[in-house]
Amino acid sequence: MPNGSEPYALDFHQGNETNEWYALNWTIFYPSVRNLVYFGHGSPSGIGYNQSNTNVSLTVTQITNILHTLPVGQTNKHSFRFVFLDGCSTAKGTLPEAFGILHKQSVPLWEYTAASMRPSVFCGWSSDKAAGFVISGAVNYDHINFITAIQTDMLLNGATIGDAYNYACSQPDVVTILTSQFMIYGCPDITFGAFNN
């Protein structure tokens, strides 16, 4: 079980989806976990390919009920620090609020300090994406190149998520229309490990 400071990965493969989604649910709701990077199916109302089946998905309602993030003001709230959901339309609904992250762009660090809050950030898509799967017999490298550039700048160069986004947007193999649909809510000045203790 992750202790909140070490990476923990789940591999969803055919025949084992229910067990892996159960493990993901348990992991997200573990008290010391406050970071999530997810690659897969999504929608404004959750993650997973079939959100009518809670054995293979995680809905906003499930997240808010367990993390006590909505309605606001609950005393046992478990907010996340860093959420990166690389799934269709994950920035369109209330997923940022579900993880306890402000649904507002470009929130400066001082606002968190003034409110005695841990800085946090949510990244997702404002529309549906063809996320690197085969499209008409060809791989969609636009998406792959964009996400890879963000990861590279954050993990290898220690960049903030905002700077990593700008770096990815400047790459010659990234399409501008794609970058305009990637949303960053909360504080763009967070690095991979900042404010994690």
Is 149 among the domain residues? Answer: no
Is 122 among the domain residues? Answer: yes
Reading the block at residue 55, the tokens are 């054995």
Is 108 among the domain residues? Answer: yes
Is 78 among the domain residues? Answer: yes
Instruction: Please identify which residue in the block is written with the tokens 């898509």.
Output: 125
Indicate the helix (H) or strand (E) that contains 168.
helix 161-169
Residue range of the domain that includes 51: 17-129+181-186
pTM of the predicted model, to two decimals?
Answer: 0.89
Is 142 among the domain residues? Answer: no
pLDDT digits (tens, 9 = 90+) for 128-175: 876 555 556 667 788 889 999 999 999 999 999 999 999 999 999 887
Is 89 among the domain residues? Answer: yes
Instruction: Please identify which residue in the block is written with the tokens 């964009």.
Output: 146
pLDDT digits (tens, 9 = 90+) for 60-71: 999 999 999 999
Q: Identify the CA nearest to 163 among candidates 145, 187, 140, 136.
A: 187
Is 115 among the domain residues? Answer: yes
- 173-179 long-range contacts, CB within 8 A, separation 24+: 173/141, 173/142, 173/145, 174/142, 174/145, 174/146, 174/149, 175/142, 175/146, 178/129, 178/142, 178/143, 178/146, 179/146
Instruction: Please identify which residue in the block is written with the tokens 């009920």.
Output: 65
